Amino acid sequence: MSYTKIWVHCVWTTKYRKPLLKKEIRNKILDHISENAKSKGIYMDCIGGFEDHLHCLICLKREQNIADVMQKIKGESSYWINKNKLTALKFSWQDDYFAVSIGESQLGNLRKYIKNQEEHHRRKTLSEEYNQFIDKYKFDMVKMG
């Protein structure tokens, strides 16, 4: 039997970073994404976010890859949000996402960070945070403005 434990921190945004994930619907969306992930065999340790983006911590199984997992999470959730008319505008996620592997020693701090997104974004914008991720993890990408 193969054993794997690949922790991944994922971040994705609403299309054009529109602030559509208002507080009054955000928890409903987070709960739905968690339940949907579970039903699809995706282990999602925690999820949180702010008005224009979400973070989650997942643990990939040996037969899973990040592209398929993100497609399942994002695709179904945007369909569900629109079907239930949770936003005034048609809802969709940005095509891209950020994903980086996380070591066991980082899990506790990352869980706190994901659960405290609202407080965190009182001090730092998504663009600032995103650019810090790019610098920290040495991604060869264009920074957000």
Instruction: Give, for all 145 residues of the chain, the pLDDT tens digit.
Output: 788 899 999 999 999 999 999 999 999 999 999 999 999 999 999 999 999 999 999 999 999 999 999 999 999 999 999 999 999 989 999 999 999 999 999 999 999 999 999 887 788 777 788 777 778 777 765 555 5
Cα 104 to Cα 69, 101, 124, distances in angstroms:
21, 10, 26
Within the chain, strands assigned E span 6-13, 43-50, 53-60, 98-102
Residue 53 has φ and ψ, to the nearest 5°, of -165, 165
Rounded to the nearest 5 percent, the helix, strand and coil shares of the chain are 45, 20, 35
| Secondary structure element (H or E) that encloses residue 80, with its range | helix 66-83
Residue 92 DSSP class: -
Fold of 6-136: Alpha-Beta Plaits (3.30.70)
pLDDT (0 to 100) of residue 141: 56
Q: At 83, list the tokens.
A: 């079907």
